Amino acid sequence: MAHATENHGLPSHAQGAAITVGTFDGVHRGHWAVLRRLREVARGHGLHSVLVTFDPHPLKIVRPELAPRLLTTPNEKKEILSLAGIDYAVFLSFTRSLSLYLPDEFVREVLVERFRLKRLVVGYDHGFGRDRSGSAENLREVGARYGFDVEVVEPARMNDEAISSSGIRRALERGDVERAAQGLGRPYSLTGVVVHGEGRGRTLGFATANVSIGHGDKLLPREGIYAVSAASRTHQGPGLLHLGPRPTFRGSPPSIELHLLNFDGEIYGDLVRVEFRARLREIQPFASASELVEQMKRDRAAAAEFFRQGRLYRAGGPD
């Protein structure tokens, strides 16, 4: 997959494109269904397959007070989309001026003139242009003027409910990372750099890596203790994650602390990817450090049992 630029469009040799447009936050199973159909349409008509998406999230510009935390940062989205089997991903800079485009203007100036649109594939709840007024029906009218067809993909469902980015966010806000994984088609994850912390974990016999995610708009699941999988440059395996405040140690700031179950080396400075597998418990205060240590031992045993039973959500990606 190549990253076409928003200024130059497709390469000069490209004859035309099958395009889908949207924020695609999370790149969940419903999005995979759209991308799968996009590939099929492109192959069937001898076109390039193109995803046009936005950075930042459009609500960050038009209604910042309503802008959601992101399921996928731009870098995470690019990594996931690299598995989608499409030819080009275009990340448009979403600006105030772009938000004022009428659907007709956006289609003509961006999709038709810049990216040579021939076939448009959209999700069932798609809308773009000023106030999201570009519905599928409106797009078909525009397509009749500019010579492209529009196809609407029905939603992917889970328990008779359409899978959506907002639904996955609600699951994560409850701490239900297993339901979120079912909607995403993979475990929910975060990526960050291991930084130096207070060093208290090692003195307690539970060495922890403090993870700094850097991106302020990334959605974190509900505070708690989680069973996770982690991968860095030097290690890959199961772990425990503390996400949130540290009430036992008064004055300590909230943290993201990773304890690797089968590893005692140093990973400071490494980029680490953490996949959420299950929420084990709430965060709670303890009367002493020794009581906390006993609970951490129980947490470690619970995580080890979780992984021993093989309760890992697996999904098939773009197909």
pLDDT value, residue 215: 82
Q: What is the DSSP string of the chain?
A: -B--BTTTBS-TT---EEEEES--TT--HHHHHHHHHHHHHHHHTT-EEEEEEEES-HHHHH-GGGPPPBSS-HHHHHHHHTTS--SEEEEEE--HHHHT--HHHHIIIIIITTT-EEEEEEETT---SGGG---HHHHHHHHHHHT-EEEEEPPPEETTEE--HHHHHHHHHHT-HHHHHHHHTS--EEEEEEE----HHHHTT---EEEE---TTBPPPPSEEEEEEEE-SS-EEEEEEEEE--TTSTTPPPEEEEEETT--S--TT-EEEEEEEEEEE-----SSHHHHHHHHHHHHHHHHHHHHTT------TT-
CB-CB contact of 242 with 255 (8 Å): yes
List the beta bridge partners of residue 151.
121
Using alpha carbons, list the distances in angstroms from residue 121 to 20, 31, 126, 279. 5, 11, 10, 37
Domain 188-308, CATH number (from 3.30.360.10, 2.40.30.30, 1.10.10.10, 1.10.357.10): 2.40.30.30
Show the tokens assigned to 22. 């949207």
What homologous superfamily is domain 17-161 in, according to CATH? HUPs (3.40.50.620)
Task: List the chain residues with pLDDT less than 50.
Answer: 5, 313-318
pTM reported for the whole predicted model: 0.90
**Residue 1's pLDDT is what?**
64
Sheet with 117-123, edge to edge strand ranges: 88-93, 48-55, 17-21, 117-123, 149-153
Ordered by start, the domain boundaries in the chain are: 17-161, 188-308
The pLDDT of residue 40? 97
- CA end-to-end span of the chain: 16
Give the Å distances, CA to CA, from 130 to 59, 243, 259, 281, 295: 12, 38, 47, 44, 53
pLDDT, position 201: 63
Q: Do 275 and 237 form a contact (C-beta atoms < 8 A)? A: no
